[in-house]
Amino acid sequence: MIDEITKKPLRVLNHGTAGPYFWLPVSQLEEVRQLLDSRGIRYWVSENAISLNGAPEVTEINLGRGGDAAAVQAILDSVE
């Protein structure tokens, strides 16, 4: 899946101890939620969206410590 702002693929990151996560434009949130829900992926969306220098808002999806970063990345990559 391509980030509408950067025009680059969404990437699942796995830094630190909180588990995998990724950032995406708020405008794509509903589509990604439907995609993850349809595959039974557990996640939560950050309570805050941010906008830097007037850019469109982005938010974070957290997959938790037990989240499978590779599986979620494969799901995101499967969307054109």
Residues 34-58 pLDDT 10s: 999 999 999 999 999 999 999 999 9
* Cβ atoms within 10 Å, residue 40: 6
Question: What is the Cα–Cα distance from 21 to 18, expressed in whole angstroms?
Answer: 9
Nearest to 22 by CA among 40, 71, 39, 80: 71
**8 A C-beta contact, residue 12 and residue 41:** no
Domain residue spans of the chain: 21-77
The predicted model scores a pTM of: 0.91
Residue range 12-39: mean pLDDT, rounded: 95
